[in-house]
Amino acid sequence: MSLTLALDIGGTKIAVGLVDAEGQLAHRAQLPTPDGDADTVWAVVETLLGEAMKTADGAATGVGVASAGPIDLPNGTVSPINIAEWQDFPIVDRVAAATRLPVRLGGDGLCMALGEHWCGAGRDAQFLLGMVVSTGIGGGLVLDGVPYDGRTGNAGHVGHVVVVPDGGDPCTCGGRGCVETVASGPSLVRWARRQGWDGTDAKVLGDAANQGDELALKAFERGARAVAAMIASVGAVCDLDLVVIGGGVAKSGALLFDPLRAALTDYAGLDFLRGLRVVPAALGGDAGLVGAAALARG
């Protein structure tokens, strides 16, 4: 049985999987992303790769790597914002040396979108935006049925579409007013606390909203409208037919999706956008692994 080795690298966890030709995980393991220097982080990756290679027992034919970005696809390097120790880290060369297999690199947002397109909620879409709304907001594009990574591999960074043009909060990207500064989990909490809410995190905020707390509900509505504005903009540029949203904030369900879909009718005024659908992701935390495997399989 032919298997593809998949690696998903993020600021919180590093996961590895073996994916079969049907997109099913035959093996999965993960470890927390450690604090420390670049070699300390790499050591965790190397450990996970070694265990997966032993499990594959010669059946793995290639490796797909999904990484937090920015990435530099032409040079095979990554400089994740949430792994400060890795700057221009030569991930492709390191993984190739560790596995002796061909390696394909993609951004984590692109791999999430590709995973949902192959085996998840986006299987019927030709023009797809996959998004993660969590501690940050990321995304990736599948256009005309194939992944679109752009000139450097960073296409689909929809979290940095500006939705507050007259200023807004500063963003980790160096700009201001990005949708991530409005609709990510920490941003929802930050806004609510400015209005007098005294909770601690996005989960508590969601619980409060589900119990009818007006301020918590307003925080989710404000975030949902920002996401809707971004989707309308990206939809107009890319002529999308489907948006798939995953991540921790998306797990709030109707708290996000109901006001988002309502707001989208206000922003998506062009006739060709009126059929644009927004649905929850289906693969959860495995989408990046499945998508990385799809990327490697070509």
Beta carbons within 10 angstroms of residue 279's beta carbon: 16
Q: What angle do CA 236, 115, 140 make, to 5 degrees?
A: 35
pLDDT confidence of residue 248 = 84
Residue with structure tokens 């991930």?
A: 91
Question: Do the Cβ atoms of 107 and 288 come closer than 8 Å?
Answer: no
pLDDT confidence of residue 108 = 93
pLDDT confidence of residue 173 = 87
Judge whether 3-112+286-297 and 124-281 match in fold.
yes
pLDDT confidence of residue 59 = 95
CATH number of 124-281: 3.30.420.40
E strands along the chain, which residues? 3-9, 13-19, 25-32, 60-67, 71-72, 77-78, 103-107, 128-133, 137-143, 146-148, 242-246, 277-280
Q: Please, what are the averages of pLDDT over each run of 10 residues along the chain (298 residues)?
A: 93 95 96 94 97 96 95 96 92 98 96 97 95 92 96 94 92 92 95 95 94 96 97 96 92 92 93 92 94 95
The domain locations on the chain are: 3-112+286-297, 124-281
Superfamily per CATH, domain 3-112+286-297 = ATPase, nucleotide binding domain (3.30.420.40)
pLDDT confidence of residue 11 = 87
* Total-model pTM: 0.92
Nearest CA among 114, 92, 105, 133 for reference residue 230: 133
